Amino acid sequence: MKKLILIASFVYFGDNAEAFIPLPSQIIRHQAELLRASRPFTVKGTLSVSNTKIPLLLQWNGPMQYSVVLSQIPTSIYSSPIAASASWTLYRRAKTCVIKSETLTVNCTAPNLWALLELSAQAETIAKAMTSGGWLSESATHAPENTFPATREEKIKSGAADGVVLNLGSNGDKPIAVIEFNQGRPKSKENQDSIPLLQFEQTFLAPVFLRSQDGDGDFSTVKATFNAEVSKKKARLSHVLADTLDIYLGKTQIASLSRNEKEFPEKTKATPPPTALSELSVLRNTLSDEGQLLLKSLLLTH
């Protein structure tokens, strides 16, 4: 496994700041390769929507092979108690996605960019998603890895977008230096929340913020908080999975996902996804407003 890339944790907003930004291809590959080298693991957590807290279990078995189990789902999630199911399991395996409840088995959508960054371990898939989403030019994702740190001339030659800059972001309530991908700079402070934005923490190149726009023009945001401590007593030389994810639609927070530390069970078995019998719309039609937010949050993050 390649050595962890450590980058200066300060930001200098001058002409020389470009020298501290790695190439987009290096940013994309780094976390994916760390995760690919990991053993299978499980993570327990809680997905909170409105006043409802739902236990969550993530089981990661390999690149683009994982499942997410939501349990103890209350009837308030459904528009009618008749359709209620106490558990959902989301399965992702390669290009297949299925959600199974006690009463339904439905197809689900392709993974959001956040899910790809955190869980796919597939750099090429991430690169394609970022290219099709307008984050990068296609040539920027194929630059060689041995040109770090990248100068401005190297970035231009590789086709990296001018929208990759150093900026200040946050890790929870703490300000941190971030590498930022933006799709056009806002003209004023009034519309700065109306552009897609992707930020990576500088030390681990882990995603900390994603604001994206769907086909209907609506914005959703995933904001991460994670343990960024580096010390002799606790080295962080493994894949960084955020401790907390806050999820927003527009400017309104709709959910929060809290996670415990990863566990590495001695024996793990990946369960093949079941065959979907219906479309996702069938499940959506059974949900209350709160249930719609739960489903939206699950698909945005996994």
Structural domain range at position 194: 15-301
Is 25 part of any domain?
yes
The DSSP letter of residue 39 is P
Q: How far is CA 246 from CA 31, 192, 249, 288, in A?
A: 21, 19, 10, 21
Q: Which two tokens stand for residue 222?
A: 């995933």
Is 36 part of any domain?
yes
CATH code of residue 19: 2.50.20
How many C-alpha atoms does 73 have within 13 Å on its Cβ side? 22
The C-alpha atoms of residue 170 and residue 181 are separated, in whole angstroms, by 15
Give me the percent of the chain exceeding a pLDDT of 90: 57
Is 187 part of any domain?
yes
Enter the pTM of the model.
Answer: 0.85
Is 97 part of any domain?
yes
The count of domains in the chain is 1
* Per-residue pLDDT at 11: 38
pLDDT beneath 50: ranges in the chain: 1-19, 144-150, 156-161
Is 2 part of any domain?
no
Q: Which two tokens stand for residue 122?
A: 């597939």
Handedness of CA 189, 194, 196, 202 (dihedral sign): positive
Give the number of other Cβ atoms within 10 Å of residue 291's Cβ.
Answer: 23
Q: What is the pLDDT of residues 20-40, one digit of tens each?
A: 578 888 899 999 999 999 999
Is 9 part of any domain?
no
* Per-residue pLDDT at 164: 80
* Per-residue pLDDT at 160: 47
Is 39 part of any domain?
yes
The DSSP letter of residue 198 is E
Among 165, 162, 153, which residue's Cα sits nearest to residue 14? 165
Is 282 part of any domain?
yes
* Per-residue pLDDT at 49: 96
